[in-house]
Chains A and B, each alone.
Chain A
Amino acid sequence: MSERQTTEDLIASLAAMPAPPRLRMSRIALQIVGLVGIGLVLLLIGTGLRPDLAHALTTPVTLAKNAIPLALAAIALPAAMMTARPEAEPPVWLLLLPAGLAAALFVATLAETPVAQIPRGIMGNTVAACLTSITVLSLTPIVVGIALMRRGATTRPTLTGALIGLASGAGAAAGYALHCAEDNPLFYVTWYGMGICIATLIGAVLGRRWLRW
């Protein structure tokens, strides 16, 4: 049986190859965190922290601008790393908690804002800077993170890519909030959310392409 022989040959040649190194997910995670951090430091050196930062962080609704994206990133990054193992079931549903909180904040603010002021509340003054910063800051960590994850064995490339994008975008947003002085939830839930979604989408598309094996 020649077929059978081939498989035995294959086994022999695979056994003769050096073993691939054990995958260390924490290192990949650290590199993503590091890249987001470097980008943020550069941004904040360039544009500065908001002047009233210390005061802002004592106001719950303003603190939420940092805390909610941070929570998203803190859930998405380990979940993305988990998917490097083919058998893993990452607790993606946990993302619903911060996302739900953001939605609740948005709806609550909407309810107490006079209708005439809603458009202004949503549009704010710095939409372009906000979207650009979050998207651009997340690009490097997304690309590098996904490239590193190629060594993993995700069985869901799109999900892994999306989670890396989400972690990068949300991390960037949490840092950008140290600079951004727009504290209306109508603004930041909308546009931070949009920026994070763009990053997630970029990650999903790249993951789908690059993480196949």
Chain B
Amino acid sequence: MAFVQSYAAPRHCLGSVRSAILGASFDNGREVALEPQGEWERLLTAANAGDGAAFARFLTLITPVMRGIIRARAGTMGSDEHEDILQEVLLAVHLKRGTWQGDRPVRPWLYAVARHKIVDAFRKRGSAIQVPIEAFEETLPAERSDEPMAARDLSAMLDQIDERSATIVRAIAIEGESAETAGERVGLSAGAARVSMHRAMKRLSALAERMTR
């Protein structure tokens, strides 16, 4: 996971990879602080046991991620409305947090709650916008891009595919190396590395779909 902390290099490249994978554009200039796995679970467990500070921290952590998902789904909607929807999501997270089973990962639960509220919010506003994010890739505003957790999601997803593909994706797409160099690293020809990268990106998109839907 260390690569996310140390990328710094070609940011434009990283931005496009992230929008391709996560369906959201974010392009932050600062270093990304990584939380240990299970941080969200720990916080929500404490929160549900009555720790208000832990719940505040939990909501603060998920806010940028939720904002990213909302923006990815809303596309043309104004950012004031994004913020309204975000608040509806946060409120629902509070009201329904008793339905999270403490022994399960929090993300599937959280994304399901968010998706439900977001779809509902769009329905209420009479605009069922379901345009694929690729359509906005070039025009998405780069503001409000404080989304460290999204980068963490990227690394979590990379952990879910096989080591060699993950290495290639990191090398080519994130660190901006050539296919030749990246291929050499894992013992593949440049062509094979490109094919492997292409396949890995497809799998990552599928993973991201599951996370944001």
Contacts and interface: CB of A to CB of B under 8 A. Distances in A.
Interface in A9-43: 10-12, 14-23
A6 B102 CA distance: 29
29 contacts: A3-B80, A3-B83, A6-B87, A7-B87, A11-B63, A11-B90, A14-B56, A15-B52, A15-B53, A15-B55, A19-B47, A19-B48, A19-B49, A19-B50, A20-B98, A22-B98, A23-B98, A85-B99, A85-B100, A85-B112, A86-B96, A86-B112, A87-B108, A87-B111, A153-B96, A153-B113, A153-B116, A213-B92, A213-B116
B63 A7 contact: yes
A166 B210 CA distance: 30
Interface string A89-112: 000000000000000000000000
Given A11-B56, A14-B90, A85 B83 contact: no
B59 interface: yes
Interface in A134-162: 151-153, 155
Q: Which 7 A-B pairs have the closest CB atoms?
A: A15-B56, A86-B112, A87-B112, A153-B96, A20-B98, A87-B108, A153-B99
A16 B112 contact: no
B87 A22 contact: no
B60 interface: yes
B95 A20 contact: yes
Interface string B79-102: 110010011001110111111111
B116 A155 contact: yes
Interface in B7-62: 47-50, 52-53, 55-56, 59-60
Interface of A: 3-4, 6-7, 10-12, 14-23, 84-87, 151-153, 155, 213
Q: How large is the interface on B (under 10, 10 to 19, 20 to 34, 35 or more residues)?
A: 35 or more
Nearest to B94: A14
Interface hub of A15, A16, A20, A23 (most chain B Cβ within 10 A): A15
B122 interface: no
B116 A85 contact: no
A64 B55 CA distance: 51
B97 A20 contact: yes
Contact of B112 (A10, A22, A155): A155
Contacts of B136: none
Interface hub of A20, A23, A85, A153 (most chain B Cβ within 10 A): A153
Interface of B: 47-50, 52-53, 55-56, 59-60, 63, 79-80, 83, 86-87, 90-92, 94-102, 108-109, 111-113, 115-116
Nearest to B50: A19
Nearest to B114: A86
B31 to A, nearest CB: 22
Contacts of A16: 52
Given A15-B55, A87-B108, A155-B112, A7 B90 contact: yes
B101 to A, nearest CB: 7
A84 B98 CA distance: 10
A19 B100 CA distance: 12
A11 B60 contact: yes
A29 B50 CA distance: 26
Given A87-B109, A152-B99, A6 B83 contact: yes
Interface hub of B53, B56, B80, B115 (most chain A Cβ within 10 A): B56
A19 B98 contact: yes
Contact of B101 (A6, A7, A85, A155): A85
A155 B118 CA distance: 12
B102 to A, nearest CB: 8
